[in-house]
Amino acid sequence: MSSGDTSMTTDVTDPRELEGADPHTGERGDDPLLEHGQEIDPVTGHITTGHDWNGIKELNTPFPKIALWALIISVVYSVITWVLLPAWPLGSTYTKGLLGVDQTTDADAEHARLVDLRAHWREGFASDDFAALADDADVMALALPEMRRLYADNCAACHGAEGQGRTGHGVGGAQGAGFPALNDDEWLWYSEPEDIADVIRVGINSDHPDTYFAEMPAFGRDGMLERSDIDLLVPWVAGLSAGTSDPDSEAAGIFADTCAACHGDGGTGGLESGAPSLVDAEWIYGGSEQAIRATIWNGRSGHMPAWEDRLSDEERNMLALYVAGLSQAGAQ
């Protein structure tokens, strides 16, 4: 083969067949490409990168064409979408695109359509005629999904997904946020939907000027009761729900003088003052003697925010009917 004839060289794919190559490895000592420890892989014919990881060598192969084409297509697609669709921010605005697509406008239009669809039944909840609303089965069926959403979004975090409430415990039972159950027939304030709506509107111990207020004094911490009186009172209160408290005991007299004004004679509650019944199995801050002692000693002051500025009249009324329904279902 003459020095000017390269046809045989260019047609050869096995490096072992190249002129001057080692017949076993395909390496050529005079190849200017084989530098820095590079060599030709005898199987594929590709030059290696010279890297060696415990006998594993890396081939210096060309960039895959499929990946190159994918990159080219991605760039072309990006340029097209930049031109046709909203893309680049420009201070307080953005490029609109030739197609004029605006998902914000589309979302607003769809929301307005849904509001219009619900308007024919939703407007009725602006009324305070709760009895008529509760008796309208068709309207209640339409409103029930929104009632559930309103409750889940605004109430369930404290009162539980099913209105089961949550008992609060802190260190030694002394602190902790307790939230009353809404799915029973025991009420701290009122049970009628119109009254529940008002409680939702102004809250309890909130910053609303018309808020409902309820606070249990710290009888032990503030020295309102002697420790010996509290020692008598704690097991007596704990026994109310079990029916084991002696109504003629010294502890009963302490209760009548100190607690009955809020909790009712015998601890039955129901005075619409925010003080719970003590004769049932529902406890906001725990019914163990330890928790009761912490409550008597340190006092309690629950908090419910006012929703007047957060929810509309219709939404508050829907919530009031839903909460009243939870109580009725629980009682049944």
Band of pLDDT at residue 38, cut at 50, 70 and 90: low
**In the block, which residue shows the tokens 């919530």?**
319
171 pLDDT higher than 50: no
Shared domain check, 73 and 208: no
Point out the least confidently predicted range of 17-31, 159-173, 221-235: 17-31
194 shares its domain with 127: yes
Output the furthest CA–CA distance in the chain (Å, rounded): 127
Examine the domain organization and report whether 202 and 131 are in the same domain. yes
Residue 118 lies in a domain: no
> Same structural domain for residues 140 and 218?
yes
| SS3 track for the chain | CCCCCCHHHHHCCCHHHCCCCCCCCCCCCCCCCCCCCCCECCCCCCEEEEEEECCEEEECCCCCHHHHHHHHHHHHHHHHHHHHCCCCEECCEECCCCCCCCHHHHHHHHHHHHHHHHHHHHHHHHCCCHHHHHHCHHHHHHHHHHHHHHHHHHCHHHHCCCCCCECCCCHHHCCCCCECCCCCCCCCCCCCHHHHHHHHHHCECCCCCCCECCCECCCCCCCCCCHHHHHHHHHHHHCCCCCCCCCCCHHHHHHHHHCHHHHCHHHCCCCCCCCCCCCCCCCCCCCCHHHHHHHHHHCECCCECCCCCCCCHHHHHHHHHHHHHHHHHHHC
The boundaries of the domain holding residue 74 are 65-94
Q: 165 in a domain, yes or no? A: yes
Instruction: Give pLDDT tens digits for 59-118.
Output: 887 788 999 999 999 999 999 999 999 888 898 888 888 988 888 888 999 989 988 888
Residue 18 has a pLDDT of 60
Residues 141 and 230 in one domain: yes
- Lowest mean per-residue pLDDT among 70-74, 257-261, 266-270: 266-270
Q: Which of 94, 109, 134 corresponds to the end of one domain?
A: 94
Confidence of residue 141 (pLDDT cuts 50, 70, 90): very high
Is 265 inside any structural domain? yes
Residue 26, domain member (yes or no): no
Number of domains within the chain: 2
Q: How much is the pLDDT for 332? A: 57
- Domain C-terminal end among 75, 94, 113: 94
Q: Do 195 and 297 belong together in one domain?
A: yes
The residue type at 39: E
Is-contact 255 236, C-beta < 8 A?
Answer: yes
Q: Please report which confidence band the pLDDT of residue 6 belongs to, taking 50, 70 and 90 as the band edges.
A: very low
Residue 60 lies in a domain: no
* CATH number for 260: 1.10.760.10
Instruction: Name the DSSP letter for residue 307.
Output: -
153, 267: one domain:
yes
Asked whether residue 128 carries a pLDDT value surpassing 90, the answer given is no
More confident residue, 131 or 17: 131
One domain, residues 81 and 163: no
Lookup: tokens for 242: 């079990």
Please write the tens of the pLDDT for every residue from 292-320. 999 999 999 889 999 999 999 999 999 99
Q: Are residues 229 and 287 in the same domain?
A: yes
Greater pLDDT, 164 or 33: 164
Q: Does residue 17 fall inside a structural domain? A: no
Decide if 170 is inside a domain: yes
Tell me, yes or no, whether 90 and 135 share the same domain: no
* Banded model confidence at residue 32, pLDDT cuts 50, 70, 90: low
Does residue 254 sit in the same domain as residue 206?
yes
Range of 31-45, 119-133, 218-232 with top mean pLDDT: 218-232
Its pTM stands at 0.65
CA distance 233 to 255: 7
Is residue 294 helix, strand or coil? helix
Residue 162 has pLDDT above 70, yes or no: yes
Tokens of 294: 């912490």
Asked if residue 6 belongs to a domain, the reply is no
Same domain, 185 and 296: yes
Q: Are 184 and 327 in contact (CB under 8 A)?
A: yes
**For 34-43, 190-199, 235-244, which range has the lowest pLDDT when averaged over its residues?**
34-43
